[in-house]
Structure formats: structure tokens, C-alpha cells
Amino acid sequence: MISKKEFGRTGHQSTRALFGGAALWDVTQEEANKVLDLLLNYGVNHIDTAASYGDSELRIGPWMKNHRKDFFLATKTGMRTYQEAKEELHKSMERLQTDYVDLWQMHVLVNQQEWERAMGPGGALEAFVEAKEQGLVRYLGVTGHGLAAAKMHLESLEVYDFDAVLLPFNFILMQNGNYAEDFCRLQEKCLEKNVAIQTIKSVARGPKPDDMGGYTTWYEPLADQKAINSAIAWVLGNPDVFVNTVGDIKILEKVLKAAEKFSFPPDDDTMIAEIEKYGIKPLFITDEI
């Protein structure tokens, strides 16, 4: 079974590997059921999806009816105004077949203009606070991709006391000095405020090539089990973070196996050798996703 730790201030003991619902973007209900049943085999008890993840919420809903009490359920909205965000939350709850969401997150909030709209008068933040007051959601969070994510999350935490953040984190990304500095500052702030830190792109090999080999991620993922073991172990070597699993059902179990067997992180020399062996490249080179 995958080990657990407290998910920030929520009090929930979440598995350190959280299921990334993007993997269910375009699958049948039968395929989704098999994937979700797989989570039970590894003890995963936390699902993270989004309204924009294709059919993911629709696939999780029918299965979740019988498992709701056993899972911490998170979803996201990319809407930036009060009304749009409010409407999307109710659609998400309908698709997920639940009357409440454990964690509702502002999705990919890294663009400055979108951030100002979401956080300003009539913005999505008003819908978030209202939903929490009404008991429709228990906790609130913010997510981001790209090199600006950590810096923007710090700004978000200055405006509102969010319960969770989500952003990219892997070895090659942390060789970017500016991003590493921002990430460490964010981590320090989150520890101070007991905010959960979720990480993504742990098994990214690099930007999407012409031939993806049938993978459904928007980047090229690592596929070799040994490479995945090292990548996941390096992320989980940071005791303050969770790792969100890959958005591809064919690689998912390899990631779960890696998380289950984690005991200690590889050293820098090992990770540098992995970069050379597997041709790992930075996924983000600008502030844009």
C-alpha cells in the first residue's frame, strides 16, 4: 500500500500519490471502472479531477456513488468570474454525482490578467468563498502550470488563505534556478500556513514529440519502470509534497508501483545519469504553459 500523510490542514490522511483524473479524459466507463478499481488495490484514497478534463468527471461519477465515503474528492474550474465559476461547480457536482466536493481549485491560475479577474470584484474567488460557506465545498485551492506557477501561488496566498496548491515539480525543472527559488519560497510559506502541496509532471520526459507512442499526456512521459521509479522517488523524497499521478491509463500502474515501493530518494548523480540515459528535457522554458 502507498503511504499516507496529512493533507495540509484538512486532517485527511491522503496517500502521497493522488490519482490524477486527467487520465480518464477520453475512456469508456468500463475502462474507467477498471482504473478506479486499481486505486483500491494500492490504497489510493484521493482523486483529483477538473471540469476541463474531457469526460473525467462523467466517468468518476457512476463509480463514486459506491465509494464516496472512502475518497477525498477534488475538482477544478478554469472560470474566472463569480457566475461562471458558480455554475461550473454545480455542473461538476452533477457529473460527479455528489452533493459536496472536498477540494475545489482555481485551475491554471498563472496569467496575471486572469488572476486579477478571478481575485477581483465579481471574480471566481467570491464564488469559492460562498460555496465553502454553503457547505458545497470543504476546502479551497489554486493550481498552476509553467514557470510562473510558484510565484503566482505566493501571490494567491497573500490574497486568500487557500488550503492547497498544485504545481510542477521534478528534478530537471528544479535545476532552473529561478523556479527552484520560487518553489522553495512557496514551500516555506505552505509549511508556515499548513497548506497542502500537490505536484505534477513528475514523470515528464519532455515536450510532446511528433510520435507520442499512443500516450494521452500533452507531453512525452517516461515509460520505463526504472525511470519512473527514480522520478517518483525523487519527488517523494521531499517529505512535504504529494505527487499527482500521470494522465495516461497505460502508465498509471507503473507510477502507483513506484509510489508503493518508495523508501528513499535517489541522489543528484543518479538523477543526472537518468537525464542522459532517457533523454529527459525541460518541459517548461517560458512562463507560459
Longest Cα–Cα distance in the chain? 52
* Tens place of pLDDT per residue across the chain (289 aa): 999 999 999 999 999 999 999 999 999 999 999 999 999 999 999 999 999 999 999 999 999 999 999 999 999 999 999 999 999 999 999 999 999 999 999 999 999 999 999 999 999 999 999 999 999 999 999 999 999 999 999 999 999 999 999 999 999 999 999 999 999 999 999 999 999 999 999 999 999 887 777 899 999 999 999 999 999 999 999 999 999 999 999 999 999 999 999 999 999 999 999 999 999 999 998 655 4
* Start-to-end C-alpha separation, the chain: 33
Specify the fold of 4-278: TIM Barrel (3.20.20)
Centre a 10 Å sphere on the Cβ of residue 285 and count the other Cβ atoms it contains: 11
pLDDT reported for residue 79? 98
pLDDT reported for residue 209? 85
Domain definitions of the chain by residue range = 4-278
In DSSP terms, which residues pair with 14 in a beta bridge? 5
Does the predicted model carry a pTM greater than 0.95? yes
Check residue 264 and give left, alpha or beta (phi > 0: left; psi -120 to 50: alpha): beta
Q: Is the dihedral of CA 180, 230, 286, 21 positive or negative?
A: negative
